[in-house]
Amino acid sequence: MNRVYMAGCGGMLGQAFYEEFAGDNDLRCTDIDVNEDWLTHLDFRDFSAYRDDVLAFAPDHLFHLGALTDLEYCETHPDETYATNTMAVENAVYIANDLDIPLLYIGTAGIFDGRQDLYDDWDTPNPLGAYGRAKWAGEEFVKQNAHTYLICRAGWMMGGGPRKDKKFIQKIMQQLHDGCSELHVVHDKVGTPTYTRDFAHNVRLLLERRWWGLYNVVCQGATSRLEVAQALVSELGLDASVSVRPVGSDFFADTYFAPRPDCERLVNRKLALRGLDVMRPWREALAEYIHTDYAGYLG
């Protein structure tokens, strides 16, 4: 691998990729938000700046990691969403093709409509909102135009700790940190968690074997938002002091108004058939994440 350019590397997933690849590769990591000393500023929506920076580094691989992931923001800012989650991906394809190097693109379970119980690598997407449409458009462009590519679809992402996790786990942990003794959690949304560190490692195995194409890469075990919250509270030993109250999605209708599929459960069918599925059960990954990245967070 040797030289890897990581674009959009400032978030929870970028942190995991940096940790996975930094030890034995020459990296250039960029993001619009420079929040680490190993990051350099770059807005990958600026094609000329993106292209010039990648070409100057002359990498062997291009990892396009970043995206807008706040569904409500995406729904109310569709132009910015397409510019970031679709057109910037097109930029990455053009650049990777110019250098004749492999491109890594991060897909999402959010491109499905939620009508099935499970989605494997070959099921047909049908996105519901601006976020899903933009991400699927990016995925399709990669598949149709990139010379060599690896697309890895993630599920409910967890990783990065208090500083970088902006998803479900951090929202629950923040409530607990603030002293909340009753958590309201939806019971009607199901999916598959994805631990960023396991994800980055499994992606590395695919890259090392040069097994290009599209793969679902999620933790083992389908679950629900409610079950994840219950497992989190139990893992922290807070069952006696914190109650988890099941509610329907309409309870949060004003806050989370963007359309979301009821089911985002992915299955790593292709990884399993390749004999390369090393993703751990979600409960095991959750326990490691909480005790590693949130040690001391609750006092």
In a domain, 246, yes or no: no
Range of the domain at 203: 3-164+192-222+265-280
In a domain, 286, yes or no: no
- Using pLDDT thresholds of 50, 70 and 90, give the confidence band for residue 252: confident
The pairing of strands 182-186 and 156-158 is: unpaired
d(CA 132, CA 40): 28
> How far are the Cα atoms of 50, 99, 171, 194, 295 from residue 199, in angstroms, in the given order?
25, 26, 21, 7, 22
What pLDDT digit, counting tens, does each position of 67-108 carry? Answer: 999 999 999 999 999 999 999 999 999 999 999 999 999 999
Give 23's DSSP letter: G
In a domain, 25, yes or no: yes
- Supply the DSSP string of 58-106, one letter for each residue: --SEEEE------HHHHHH-HHHHHIIIIIHHHHHHHHHHHHT--EEEE
What pLDDT digit, counting tens, does each position of 173-212 carry? Answer: 999 999 999 999 999 999 999 999 999 999 999 999 999 9
In a domain, 53, yes or no: yes
In a domain, 211, yes or no: yes
d(CA 59, CA 244): 48
In a domain, 118, yes or no: yes
Looking at residue 296, its pLDDT comes to: 87
In a domain, 230, yes or no: no
d(CA 131, CA 134): 5
Q: What is the largest CA-CA distance in the chain?
A: 59
In a domain, 258, yes or no: no
Residues 154-174, mean pLDDT to the nearest whole number: 95
Residue 1 predicted with pLDDT over 70: no
How many Cα atoms sit within 13 Å of 88 on the Cβ side? Answer: 28
Residue 210 sits in a domain whose CATH number is 3.40.50.720
Residues 236-258, mean pLDDT to the nearest whole number: 91
Domains of the chain: total: 1
Residue 226 predicted with pLDDT over 90: yes
Q: Are 66 and 14 in contact (CB under 8 A)?
A: yes
What pLDDT digit, counting tens, does each position of 99-141 carry? Answer: 999 999 999 999 999 999 999 999 999 999 999 999 999 999 9
